[in-house]
Amino acid sequence: MSLHQKLYCETTGCRMAYVVKEMVRSLKSRFQEEDIDLTIEQFFILNILDNEDGLILQELAEIVDRDKSAVLRHIDGLEQHHFVTRVQDESDKRRKILLITKPGLKVLEKARAVDQQLDREINAEIQNIETKEFEDALANMYNFLSD
């Protein structure tokens, strides 16, 4: 069955949405198989916190383009598992900085390994030249849409 027939859509955006949905579903399933106690959203948040120093809730909410209350629910879950902690900002006592903990780094490393394995499997399905062209096309689409 062709992509067009299976997805019932004509546009690149629609097709990409289906692919993203399936990638998220696969990653979620693999997390469960590997006993990784993270939602996909929490995985994204941990990745951000690992790459950005000193973020507060508002900044994180802006990065993930969600309201603070939605992001706070994810942070609360991460904090309950001891993957994230909130510490008082020394320069502004009202601010709470979000930090990834050692257990958070450990689960993130495990989750990244699963994510990278899925990525290798997907890329094995297409030839290297196609992969490079596809990644370039995705980057171009993102740049166009984010301007």
Q: How far apart are CA 54 and CA 51, in angstroms?
A: 10
Task: Report pLDDT digits (tens) over 23-60.
Answer: 899 999 999 999 999 999 999 999 999 999 889 999 99
Instruction: Let me know: does 61 contact 71? Beta carbons within 8 Å.
Output: yes
Q: How far apart are CA 99 and CA 104, in angstroms?
A: 9
Spell out the domains of the chain, with CATH numbers in brackets. 13-146 (1.10.10.10)
Model confidence pTM above 0.95: no
Task: Report pLDDT digits (tens) over 68-95.
Answer: 999 999 999 999 999 999 999 888 888 8
